[in-house]
A and B are shown apart, each in its own frame.
Chain A
Amino acid sequence: MARPKIPRKSTSVDMTAMCDVAFLLLSFFILTTKFKPSEAVPVETPNSVAAKIAPEKDVVMISLNKDGKVFLSTGDNTSDKQKKHDIIASVNESRGLGLSTTDIDALVKAPFIGVPLAQLSQQARLKTEQMTALTLPGIPCKDTANNEMIDWMRAVSDAYQGTKVNLLLKGDNVAKYPSFKNVLTAFKKNKLFKFQMVTNPESVPQGTELWKANMSGKAREE
């Protein structure tokens, strides 16, 4: 008996549907992606279990890089830039630096301030590309006697008088404790007792008290 012929089926699969899915996902990721803004001061932050997202408004950020250099920057929006202008103008006045209006404007545009007070006018003349954490010496903050951060923080607290300021401290993993301590001293001297440290999120270790509190749905204390 002749066997019935089984029709040979093509093995090629229709890829159209898969292609659709692939490009749908692709467009989703393209639209939701947010590139890391290139940071002027490269800092590798430590991890913590803190869950609060770092604020982006009314920010004064102090970066502490791995060599212990200290840099000062503010947020990017217009009101923060205005405050930055106030801060620089205030330092200029209190320390008699004699910066011209153009110098101040140039410093406001600069991504960060990272020179001793005496060299501010030189930094103002640098191009943005020349301002890197490697070439600039950082704000001197070595000990209590020579701590220019105190002047800067005074200007900050003056500029933000009456309004809330988000002091952010962004330290590098390998920065040594004394430089951190000197920044804290500058905060304390100006009665700025509340600040936040930028960290990368990390999961809470299981079985610990905080973990249990989170599991039971209790509101976290900030």
Chain B
Amino acid sequence: MAEMDTSGGGGKHKKGPGVKKGKKMSTRVDLTPMVDLGFLLITFFIFTTTMSQPTAMKLNLPDDTATPEEQNKAKESGALTILLGKDNHVFYYEGILAPDGSNFKSSNFKEIRDEIIHKKQTTDTADLVVVIKPNDESNYKNVIDILDEMSINVIKRYALVDISPIEDQMIKATEGGGTAPATSGQ
């Protein structure tokens, strides 16, 4: 393949009786550096290529202008409220928040899934609704993560709702003296 016919090459050697024939030089080219270069470029293109297209998550917003009668009220027993605070803190409570905050629990992005699954198993599907309330210090990633958690656990009904001042205060109070949470799982 990488050879050429070189007979008669060399040019310089005198042809005559008794004169030794010039040594035939091999024309095999060492291809190793070329292979090296080839694989280097392959590596470069593998790393720069974008295999994954960005995906899109769908979200439908509720109509705020609907009258209270038109809005479907969530059953208290079937509600799970998830609150998002700063630094990936997650809090949740079931049903209505007790005045003394006894059912207000702290969690993180890893453990909240178990809580959602538990709630889903113990509640009638028709009643189950997850209310997500991010506070002003939570970031966009947290919101997406928790919405993602809804699709991971196949929760059909969930709502993104503004946080109430009481809940915000409880988050701030818990964050102040609370234990350090585990980092976000995703």
Contact = CB atoms under 8 A, between A and B. Distances in A.
Interface of A: 12, 14-16, 18-19, 22-23, 25-26, 29-30, 32-36, 45-55, 64, 168, 171-178, 180-181, 184, 187-188, 191, 193-202, 204-205, 208-211, 213, 222
**B: contact size bracket:** 35 or more
Given A29-B42, A205-B152, A209-B153, A45 B63 contact: no
A15 B32 contact: yes
Contact of A209 (B57, B154, B186): B154
Interface string B74-87: 00000000001000
A54 to B, nearest CB: 4
B60 A26 contact: no
Main secondary structure on B side of the interface with A: mixed
Given A14-B31, A50-B151, 7 more contacts: A19-B35, A30-B41, A50-B58, A172-B140, A188-B64, A198-B54, A208-B153
B144 A35 contact: no
B27 interface: no
Nearest to A212: B154
Interface of B: 1-2, 28, 30-32, 34-35, 38-39, 41-42, 45-46, 48-50, 52-64, 84, 113, 117, 134-145, 147-148, 151-154, 160, 162, 186
B152 A200 contact: no
Contacts of A201: 52-55
Given A49-B152, A188-B64, A197-B144, A36 B58 contact: no
A36 to B, nearest CB: 5
Given A29-B49, A176-B138, A201-B55, A48 B148 contact: yes
A99 to B, nearest CB: 31
Contacts of B59: 194-197
Contacts of B30: 12, 15
B145 A46 contact: yes
B139 A178 contact: no
15 contacts: A15-B32, A22-B42, A30-B45, A33-B45, A35-B50, A47-B148, A55-B56, A177-B135, A177-B137, A181-B134, A188-B61, A198-B54, A199-B57, A202-B148, A204-B152
Contacts of A35: 48, 50
A150 to B, nearest CB: 13
A213 B34 CA distance: 49
A177 B134 contact: yes
A65 to B, nearest CB: 10
A197 B148 CA distance: 11
